[in-house]
Amino acid sequence: MRTLITMAIHPSQQRLRDGQTVIAVNIGGRNPDVMGALAQGGAHVAFIDCERSGIGLDAATELIRAARVAGLSPMVRSWSRDPAVLVQYLDRQVDGLIIPHIDTAQHAEDAVEVVRYACGERASEKSVIVQIETVTAIANLDSILAVKGVDAFLVGPNDLAYSLMGQRGAQTPEVLAAVASVCSRLKAAGRIIGLPAQWNQLAQFREQGASLLYFPIEWLLDRALRELRSKLDVH
């Protein structure tokens, strides 16, 4: 596990690099007003999702700024690993990039290199998180792990299920075994592991070594509303 002490980085980025628990919340769209509540509630990272939510560059810029004001570390999941796209987020002073569909060592090297290109001497202040979510990525995991400059690996069980079984979100023995195997290999290599923190899998994921815990905001709302309805005896 590597520790990089850089005064310029956000404290949550340092937590990530040190392998401490980091709570990243996908805010679920163009919703800057939620940033303050998330920070007050103890979240560390504003996960600004430009892959699945349809957020454009202008909205992402607004959210990056809102996260900073609230005290959260803004990180963007890009809709593409294209360097021209990634540079745009870096130019808007995002703290980190979450890059989907990293299937090969070359993909990972390209991601690290675009940060160096865009940020120069300040590249060390940016977090690079790559997503492992396909059978191809698993086959190439050893070479991907050899790439220097990647801060964390976000394992995607839902997309991995699709790649393995043709059904997104399937929790078959094959999918669960694949996730466990990837985590075991990442843990053995001393790398930072991220996983989506579904409540019923949270303890298991922690045992597998996950310190970057990813929550879509709807999961948090669902849990809170279910508890509220139970306390009010509302059915």
Domains and CATH numbers, the chain: 18-229 (3.20.20.60)
For 203, residues 6+ apart whose C-beta sits below 8 A from its C-beta are none
Quote the pLDDT of residue 166. 77
Mean pLDDT confidence for 144-173: 88
Tokens found for residue 191? 């790398």
Using the predicted structure, report yes or no on whether residue 7 has a pLDDT greater than 80: no
85 pLDDT exceeds 60? yes
Confidence tier at 24 by pLDDT (50, 70, 90): very high
Higher pLDDT residue, 46 or 1?
46
Q: At what angle do helices 105-119 and 83-91 cross, to 10 degrees?
A: 40
Q: Which two tokens stand for residue 169?
A: 């979100």
pLDDT category of residue 3 using cuts at 50, 70 and 90: very low
pLDDT (0 to 100) of residue 173: 87
C-alpha R_g of the chain:
17
Q: Averaged over 109-128, what is the pLDDT?
A: 96
Place of tokens 């790649």: 163
Mean pLDDT of the chain: 92
